[in-house]
Every structure is written in structure tokens, then in C-alpha cells.
Amino acid sequence: MNPAWQRKDLLSLRELGVEELRQVLNTAKVFKEILGRPIKKVPSLQGRTVVNLFVEPSTRTKISFELAAVRLSADVVSLDKDSSSIRKGESLKDTAKNLEALQAGIIVIRHRSAGAAQFLAERLQASVINAGDGAHEHPTQGLLDVFTIQERLGKIEGVRVLIVGDIIHSRVARSNLWALLKLGAKVKLVGPSTLLPREFSELGAEVTYDLDAELEQADVINLLRIQHERQVQARLPSVGEYSGFFGLNLERFKRCKPAVLLMHPGPVHRGVEIASELADGAQSVILDQVTNGLAVRMAVLYLVSGGRGLGEA
């Protein structure tokens, strides 16, 4: 029997224990099986209202949270910055309180400020799910990445994962790091020193600055997007130079394990972080990550709504 999920919110993977991580992954596995059936809907969230409050742009996360809520039979509405009264100066707290007054039971929030999800969680009775807050965390991305590795390799423990690129600005890197380390993976971070402070080694990962020296060992290579919107220009001489040292091109790929998994959270800058042929190639699981995001987000919506974990205990 699974222990009951106790959390009202999902704010970070740093705060989750190993059993909670497993509970989400096992529940997502059940939902993925349901999504393969002719009738993909279940009644778990019937009568509940999910609001997606996206104050930063998104394609994958926003659409998959919307679809996840629909597949769980919730009522779902989405609000973004440009079409909301946030543009007229309404505060985040007032916006969320108004959504709650309209009986939103779950608010999924993406925001440019680290801590925005926690800020709301402490002030609302509604469940709050962090869909990415500044450079802090992107917990459902971390969960779907771990789910994809487990699905492909059958395990996380002992798997050698290389996370490459703009680590300092990356909430994806932080969420991956917490989940992978707790589940026993061996994680190395690699990138230019301007985008990868040595302090990251204090979190439990190895920090290195030479991608070429790491390629042969990696079971998984997760290539991060250069986050231009987080003012990265000042930290890089040029995108071309970055790509020369840290882009996964065809030459570098030849030195990787034949079964290596190539991951990217998207949106992909083809020819910068990864060669286009590799992004579309046989070792790429980039679109599997997106597909798995739906099952993982169904699992998270289900658990914060009071559902017991599904799947193996």
C-alpha cells in the first residue's frame, strides 16, 4: 500500500523525499498506460477547477497541464499575463485570490520570480503547482525527465547523467539535480565557468568544464537551452563560441555510447545546444519527454487533489 501523499502543493523537488518521488513516478506510469487506451479520460478530478496562471511564456508545460486537467475531467481555464489584469497593475496575490474566489481548487503558476509559487501557496487554500519560477525550480520538468530515463533505461540508480550548458539560469537543472541525486544517479554538470559556478558541487553533483572529456562515460546527456531572457549575453562571448565548446555536434556524438539518451527540455536551439540531426535522431528522447510530461502532470494534479498514489508501492 502506498503511503498517502500529504502535500497541498508541489513547489520544488528539493523538498520531496525519495518515497514521494517514487509515488509520483509510479502514479505517472499508471496514467501513461491509461493515455494509451482508446478512452483516455478518467473522472478523478470531476467537479474541480484548475487554473493555469502563466505569467511567462510556455508551450509544453502550459498545454500539457491543460490536457492533463482535461484528461482527469477537471474544469480548466488558462490565464496569461497579456490577457489578464496583471497588465493593468493587479498584484500576483490579488490575481490569485480572485481566482480562488472563483473556486479555483488548483492554481498552476509559471512566473519569472523565484519563490512566486511558494508565495501563493502560503496565502491560498487552493493547491499551488510550480510550473517554473525564475531560475529556482521546474519540478514537473525534473519529474518528467527522471520518468523518461527510468522508462528507457529501467532504472535511475547508478545512471551517469551529464547536464550541459547554462546551469546558473536553469530551473530545469536544479530540479533534475535534486531528483536524480535522491534516486541514486551520478550527475555531472558541464558548461562554461561563467554559466556554471563551482558552488554547484556543494549540491552533490560533480562540476566540470570540459565536455569532450565526459562524452564517453555518459548514459544520458541533457542539453539545456541558453536562456537569453535571463541576461546571459554578458556571460558569453558569442553563441557561436558556446556552440563550439559545448554544443553536441556529430563529431562529438561519435564519441558517445551508442545507447546514450539525448535529452533537451525545449525549446531547442538547433545547431547551438544540439545538431538538428541529433535532435531528430534515434537516440533523441526529446519528444518522449514532452509526451511523458502529460502523464507526470496528471499524476501531480491527482496527488495534490488528495488522490492516493497509484502503481507499485
Q: Residues interacting with ligand CP, by CB under 6 A?
A: 58-62, 132, 138, 141, 265-267
Of 120 and 263, the one with the shorter C-beta distance to ligand CP is: 263
First to last CA, the chain: 6
**Shortest Cβ 141–ligand CP spacing (Å):** 5
The burial class, CB within 10 Å (0-12 / 13-18 / 19+), for 272 is middle
DSSP string, 39-63: S----TTTT-EEEEEESS--SHHHH
Task: Write down the least CB distance from residue 230 to ligand CP, Å.
Answer: 13
Q: Least distance from C-beta 97 to ligand CP, angstroms?
A: 25
Q: Give the nearer residue to ligand CP in terms of CB position, either 224 or 310.
A: 224
- Taking the complex as a whole, the smallest distance from the CB of residue 152 to ligand CP amounts, in Å, to 18
Closest distance of CB 38 from ligand CP, Å: 28
**Which element (helix H / strand E) includes 132?**
strand 127-133
Nearer to ligand CP, 66 or 100 (CB): 66
List of residues 6+ apart from 130 with CB closer than 8 A: 9, 10, 11, 12, 109, 117, 118, 137, 138, 139, 140
Q: How far is the CB of 201 from ligand CP (least distance, A)?
A: 25
Amino acid at 125: Q
Please identify, using beta-carbon distances, which residue of 173 and 278 lies nearer to ligand CP: 173
Burial of 213 (0-12, 13-18, 19+ CB in 10 A): exposed
Backbone φ, ψ for residue 160 (5° rounding): -95, 110
DSSP at 279: H
CA distance 77 to 79: 7
Identity of the residue, 191 or 265, whose beta carbon is nearer to ligand CP in the bound complex: 265
Nearer to ligand CP, 61 or 127 (CB): 61
* CB 138, CB 172: distance < 8 Å: yes
The least distance separating ligand CP from the CB of residue 267, rounded to whole angstroms, comes to: 6
CB of 161 or CB of 207, closer to ligand CP: 161
**Which residue matches cell numbers 520570480?**
113
Query: CA-to-CA distance for 103 and 245, rounded, in angstroms?
Result: 51
> At closest approach, how far in Å is the CB of 59 from ligand CP?
4
Which whole-number Å values give the CA distances from 307 to 27, 90, 172, 211, 298, in the listed order?
10, 34, 26, 43, 11
CB nearer to ligand CP: pick between 131 and 207: 131
